Amino acid sequence: MPITVADVEEALAMAPTESEGEYTDRDTLLYAVAIGMGRDPLDAKELEYVCETVGNRVVPTAGTVLSRPRRSLAGAGQAARAALQSKMNYAMMLHGEQRIEVFQPLPPAAEINISSRVAGVYDKGEGKGALVINESAVSLKSDGSPLYTQRNTMFYRADGGFGGESKGAPVPHQLPDREPDAVCEMPGRVDQAMVYALCGDRNPLHRDPGVAKKAGFDVPILHGLCSYGIACHAVLKTMLDYDQTQMTGFDVRFSSPVFPGETQVVEMWKDDKVISFRVRIKERDVVSINNGKCTIK
């Protein structure tokens, strides 16, 4: 049954789902390894992210894997959101955008509170699909202080034309019209999806060749959020001297799938407090991440 305007209005009107969660330094260390840190065991800067006896830095984009609820405290909103998305064509869904706003450096381990809601639904029109924006606001359980807020935009290609609102969707960040100020090549590993899956995303599309073939790919593709983390790794390394405390936001638009083992070339531009970037696949000369925006202090 197709979605209706009433379904959307109900989901948007629901109070956020409040949940509790927690993560340990195993989660934050594993995430850093999964996005390529620590390959040089003598790199002092990266050791601060992957070896707790050297440092306790956490990659800001790790927030995408750390906010898994342990216990739901209020579930009415969750039920309404699940009802909305159960009516949409999941097989035709793509992860369109990912954004994170960071309010303080992520601790290596923490107990957290998570407030989740549908922040927006936009109808692009018949044959053009629909956008659903999900938001999770994460705070520290110890003092209630905001930690980060993440938003993802899911593009449901087959669900446009239901009569919903078309205006108000996020506008892509425009890249500067000049040569990049810096370029960083991030070599991939053929087993990278296997490692990243251990961070929590067990979608077989990224590991099972049979599932990948049914989805139209000759081989499994890399997680989009792994590429998101690799881009963050490149910006930290190239523009911020590995100082994650300078980063306050990291937004991307996904453009093309990445295959494990490919080299992701991150092109960067710095203008005041904004680092713009995009990612190009060296082996195929295609843009995999576009309209990237990193905000800094």
What are the C-alpha distances in Å from 174 to residues 234, 269, 275, 276?
A: 20, 11, 11, 8
Q: How far apart are the first and last CA of the chain?
A: 47
**38, 49 Cβ separation under 8 angstroms:** yes
**53, 120 Cβ separation under 8 angstroms:** no
Question: Which of 25, 181, 201, 243 is labelled catalytic?
Answer: 201
Among this protein's residues, is 272 annotated catalytic? no
The residue written with tokens 């049914």 in the block is 214
Among candidates 146, 151, 149, which has minimal Cα distance to 170? 151
Among this protein's residues, is 201 annotated catalytic? yes
Question: Which of 27, 206, 223, 233 is labelled catalytic?
Answer: 206
**150, 98 Cβ separation under 8 angstroms:** yes
* Chain centre to alpha carbon of residue 85: 19
Within the chain, strands assigned E span: 17-23, 69-74, 93-102, 110-123, 130-140, 146-156, 182-186, 247-254, 264-271, 274-281, 286-296
Measured distance CA(268)–CA(233) in Å, rounded: 12
- Non-local (6+) Cβ contacts of 31 within 8 A are 59, 62, 65, 66, 199, 229
Measured distance CA(134)–CA(118) in Å, rounded: 5
273: tokens are 């407090």
Query: Would you please indicate which residues are annotated as catalytic (active-site) residues?
Result: 201, 206
